Amino acid sequence: MSGPVVAIVVAAGSGVRLGGTGPKALRHLAGRPLVCWAVDALAAGGVRSAVVVVAAGLEADFEAVLGSALIPVTAVVGGATRQESVARGLATLPDDGQVVLVHDAARPLVPVEVVRRVVDAVRSGALAVTPVVPVTDTIRQLSPDQTSAVVDRSRLRAVQTPQGFDRDTLVQAHAGLHDEVTDDVAACEAIGVPVTLVAGSREALKITEPFDLIVAQALLSTRGGPG
Ligand code: C5P
């Protein structure tokens, strides 16, 4: 699969669990909004342009902060669910990108090697690709009667973003969706497309709670970057 790589960065969530005011993606990490870190991480991995999906009324705010991003970015309004937000981003992507990445703005520090692994897998012919990491906690699964059983964690993987796709496959997956899914490889799987796993990184952590921002700040200081 050749041609430029384009990205959809979903940033329309409210970020209630992080606390504070305003959308999570505009919260600062080392003096820059999370969404700017996320977009520049994709750019470093070869993404040529991005559509950022945001809550209604915030398009101008996002486009203003993203004026300093390494690649051109346009903002579009998202939907009530992540799935709807991705679909809206997909509908406005520039025509020329056949390799599409979908990334959470809430994962600002994804390393460039992870982005490259995802892109390389799609370029090599995979239709739906996700980075994953092993699960380190022991996990117990609850039953409806509130009893629980341990799960074999050696067979579990935690899913990250950016996920990578052949564009036509992602379009078909979203067109065919009936049930709610929480990521886009699951949408592809629902139409029978095999999912390819590549190695992710703990550094691609999702900023959900205040603790995660502290971890991200600490990570940045080990990279020798700002902060
Ligand atoms: O809620 P969750 O943590 O799964 O959100 C993951 C990403 O999806 C976040 O970057 C969030 O901004 C985005 N999102 C969205 N539209 C929604 C809900 C979540 O763009 N309606």
Ligand 1 pocket, 122 CB below 6 A? no
Residue among 95, 90, 66, 61 nearest 78 (CA): 90
Distance 14 CA to ligand 1 centre (A): 8
Q: Using an 8 Å Cβ cutoff, are 107 and 160 in contact?
A: yes
Rounded to two decimals, the pTM is: 0.96
- The pLDDT value recorded for residue 226 is 45
Sheet strands (E) in the chain: 5-10, 28-29, 32-33, 47-54, 73-77, 99-104, 128-134, 140-142, 148-150, 157-159, 163-166, 196-199
Residue to substitute in 17, 24, 90, 104 for testing ligand 1 pocket (most ligand atoms within 8 angstroms of CB)? 104
- The pLDDT value recorded for residue 225 is 52
Q: Ligand 1: which atom is nearest the Cα of residue 104?
A: 10
Residue among 214, 218, 219, 227 nearest 203 (CA): 219
Ligand 1 pocket, 80 CB below 6 A? yes
- The pLDDT value recorded for residue 227 is 40
From first to last of its 227 residues, what are the pLDDT tens digits of the chain?
888 999 999 999 988 888 888 899 999 999 999 999 999 999 999 999 999 999 999 999 999 999 999 999 999 999 999 999 999 999 999 888 899 999 999 999 999 999 999 999 999 999 999 999 999 999 999 999 999 999 999 999 999 999 999 999 999 999 988 888 999 999 999 999 999 999 999 999 999 999 999 999 999 999 865 44
